Amino acid sequence: MPKRFDQARPFLTLGLVVAAWFFVPTVVKTFTRASFFELTAPVGVAVSYARDLQEYWSLRLRSNDELVQAGRDVARLIASYDIAVQQNVEMQGEIARLEGLLRLPSYTGYRSEHARVVRRDFSGWWQRLTIRKGKNFDLAVGSPVVFSGGVVGRVSEVFAYTATVDLISSQTVRLAAVVEGDIRPISYQGGLNPTFGSAGGIIEFVPLDIFASANSTKRLVTSGLGGVFPPGLTIGSVIKVEPSNDGLFKSGEVKLDDRLAALIEVTVLIPLSPN
C-alpha cells in the first residue's frame, strides 16, 4: 500500500463515518439519543437522592431549640400565606367577573409541580438544569419553570423520569418581557455568564423613554405575550440601557437573580388547557 494512502487512511475512514452519520435517519438518532440519556439519567438521580439523604442527616443534627424556633417561623409564614390565599381567591373572583362583563379571554390556568434539581450544567455554551420529574408527572415541553425569585426557564426536553430545563441565562432562551409598570413589549435573550459574576441577559427594542442604570435599576417582568409564561413574573433587573444603532430603540443588559446558580428545587407550571 503506498505510504501516502496509509497516512490518509484515518481521515478517509473518518470521512466515511461522517458521511454515514449524516445518512442515519433522524428517528434512529432520536431513539439513540433518548437511549443514551436514559443510560446516564440514573447516575444524576442516584447522586441527587444521596444529596437529599445527606441533607436530611445534617438536619437531624440540629438541636430541639432550633427546630422549635424554625417551627414557630413556619407557623407565622403559613398564617400570612393563609391571608394571601384568601385575598387571592377574592381577586380571582373579581377577575372572572370582569372577564365576563368585558368578554375578555381568560388567562391560562396552571398546575404547579415541584421538582428537585438533579444536575446543574452551566457552561459558557449553555445553561441547563436537570430536574427529577418527567413523563411520570406529565411534564410538557415548553412549560415555564419558576422559583420564589421569578423565572427559572422553560422545560426543553422531557424524559421518562427526568426533564431538562433551559435556564433563563442561557442563550437559547428568548422571550417577550416588559419593564414593570409599562405595557410595551421588549425582547429578552439570555447569554451573559461571566466567571464568578452574576448571570445576565440582553434586552432589545426598549422604548426610548425608559431609563435605567446600575444605581437606578428597573424590574423586568414577563409580558404574558406568547402564551408560555404568565405575566408579571420577575426576570431580573435592568442595569443598563443605551440607544441602539438604529436610533429607534434602546438595548441594554439585565442582571439575573444570583440564587439561580444554586437552585435545589423549582416549580414547573403545567398549563391546565392543552392548547
Partner 1 sequence: MLRLLFIFLSTFLLWALTAQLNHALAPWRLYVFVGALAVTLPALTFSLRAGLLASFLGGLVFDATAPIPFGTHALLFALVHAVVFNFRDRVPRDDTLSRVIIALFANLGLFLVFSFTQVARSPAPASLWPRLFADLACSQVLLALIAPWFLAVQARALALVDHEQKRYA
226-260: burial string, b at 16+ Cβ within 10 Å, e else: eebbbeebbbbbbbbbeeeeeeebbbbbbbbbeeb
Q: 27, 78, 83, 262: which one contacts partner 1 (CB under 8 A)?
A: 262
Q: Applying CB under 8 A, does 9 fall inside the site for partner 1?
A: yes
Interaction of residue 14 with partner 1, rule CB under 8 A:
yes
C-alpha cell at 209: 423613554
Tell the smallest beta-carbon distance from residue 210 to partner 1 (Å).
Answer: 19
User: Site for partner 1 (CB under 8 A): which residue of 45, 110, 116, 120?
Assistant: 120
**Considering only residues 17-46, where is the footprint of partner 1 by CB under 8 A?**
17-18, 21, 29-30, 32-33, 36-37, 39-40, 43-44
Our CA angle for 140, 137, 34, nearest 5°, is 65
Choosing from 110, 116, 172, 244, the residue that interacts with partner 1 (CB under 8 A) is 172
Amino acid residing at 181: G
Q: How far is the CB of 235 from partner 1 (least distance, A)?
A: 15
List Cβ neighbours of 125 (8 Å cut-off, separation of 6 or more): none
The piece of 57-65, 79-87, 92-100, 185-193 that touches partner 1 (CB under 8 A) is 185-193
Distance (Å, whole) CA 97 – CA 63: 51
How far apart CA 70 and CA 119 sit, in angstroms, is 28
Of residues 46 through 75, those in contact with partner 1 by CB under 8 A are 47
The set of cell numbers assigned to 111 is 398546575
According to the binding rule CB under 8 A, does residue 5 interact with partner 1? Answer: no
Residue number with CB closer to partner 1 (23 or 57): 23
- Binding to partner 1 (CB under 8 A) within 220-239 occurs at none
Number of residues that bind partner 1 (CB under 8 A): 48
Q: What are phi and psi of 222, to 5 degrees?
A: -70, 150
Told to check if 199 binds partner 1 by CB under 8 A, we report yes
Tell me how far, at minimum, the Cβ of 78 lies from partner 1, in Å. Answer: 30
Q: Does 85 bind partner 1 (CB under 8 A)?
A: no
For residue 143, state whether it binds partner 1 (rule: CB under 8 A). no
Considering the rule CB under 8 A, would residue 171 count as an interface residue with partner 1? yes
Q: Which of 80, 112, 195, 215 binds partner 1 (CB under 8 A)?
A: 195
Q: How far is the CB of 230 from partner 1 (least distance, A)?
A: 25
Please enumerate in sequence order all residues whose Cβ is within 8 A of that of 38, keeping only pairs 6 or more positions apart, or say none.
Answer: 159, 160
The string of DSSP letters for 3-35 reads HHHHHHHHHHHHHHHHHHHHHS-HHHHHHHHHH
Q: What is the SS3 assignment for 86? A: helix
The whole-angstrom separation of Cα 187 and Cα 199 is: 17
Q: How many CA atoms lie within 13 A of 207 on its CB side?
A: 9
Q: Give residues in contact with partner 1 (CB under 8 A).
A: 7, 9-11, 13-14, 17-18, 21, 29-30, 32-33, 36-37, 39-40, 43-44, 47, 119-126, 128, 130, 156, 164, 166, 171-172, 189, 191-197, 199, 201-202, 261-262
